[in-house]
Amino acid sequence: MSSLFEIRGTPSPRMSTALQVAGILALLSLWAGVCATGWIGPRILPSPLAVLRTFPALHFQDAMVRNLLYSCFLNFAGYAEAVAVCLPLGFLIGMFPIFNGMFSKPVDSIRYLPLTALTGLFMEWFGIENTMKIQFLAFGISVYLLPVVVQRVREVPVLYQQTAFTLGASKWQMFRTVFFPHVRSRIVLDIQVLVAISWTYIIVAEMMNNTGGIGGLLYGSARAGRTDKTFALLAVIILVGYVQDKIFLGLDMLLNPHKYS
């Protein structure tokens, strides 16, 4: 029991699960307790029970599941495109001095772009249908993911590179045996963290020619003053994010089993 209070201690998996459940229950109890005092009105902070009661209406009247699947499709397409673009570009910029000298500074600078201010450009370039929304979400991920890929390539120890060079490895062999394995062991969890950004921009993407999606549903509930529905939809997004994290963790365990042995 004393190990729970050690600095940077690591509880067992069973204890970790119990602590997570206890933390959630503590937060729910605090939330319910604050609502029970009446200090904050239900239109500002609905009780957990009031939020729970909105799910039947969200399912049958607002087609929550259909809207959620639509948002998941947009996000997954954005993830896939961002990863497909950023990985090869990141290796090129990180491995080759000529590309590094030409593009490293622009890559670092694109993080400061105000993405929500670019919606007009994306509508002009890609129209107002799903293609535009996917491109917007992919770009929103890429501006953060590409610098991370470049940084991971730069972090490959020089000793590994020198050893491969001494053994006569070609550029392709160095990429395949040194750079790619080292970056792969870290980039999966980096992607897990960064793709969550697309859920931040999902409302912006779906409100451009609103054709559905949980982001549009969330925006409409907030505009209508339905705080209970807003909290319920936020809880759904958090649950989806939790499942997404588990999927990425499983993918990392599959691709990098040495990290978990």
> pLDDT in tens for each of the 261 residues of the chain?
455 556 566 666 677 778 888 888 898 888 888 888 888 888 888 888 988 999 998 888 888 999 999 999 999 999 899 999 999 999 998 888 888 888 888 888 888 888 878 888 888 888 888 899 899 999 988 988 999 999 999 888 888 878 888 888 788 888 888 888 888 888 888 888 888 888 888 888 888 777 788 888 888 888 888 888 999 999 999 999 889 888 888 888 888 888 777
Helices then strands (H, E): number in the chain? Answer: 14, 0
Quote the CA–CA distance of 36 and 45 in Å, as a whole number: 11
- Structure confidence at residue 7 (pLDDT): 59
DSSP secondary structure code for residue 175 in this structure: I
- Structure confidence at residue 162 (pLDDT): 81
- Structure confidence at residue 82 (pLDDT): 92
- Structure confidence at residue 66 (pLDDT): 92
Quote the CA–CA distance of 105 and 110 in Å, as a whole number: 9
Contacts (Cβ under 8 Å, ≥6 apart) of 34: 40, 45
Phi, psi dihedral angles at 129 (to 5 degrees)? -95, -165
- Structure confidence at residue 188 (pLDDT): 87
- Structure confidence at residue 83 (pLDDT): 92
pTM of the shown model: 0.82
Quote the CA–CA distance of 136 and 131 in Å, as a whole number: 9
- Structure confidence at residue 3 (pLDDT): 56
- Structure confidence at residue 167 (pLDDT): 80
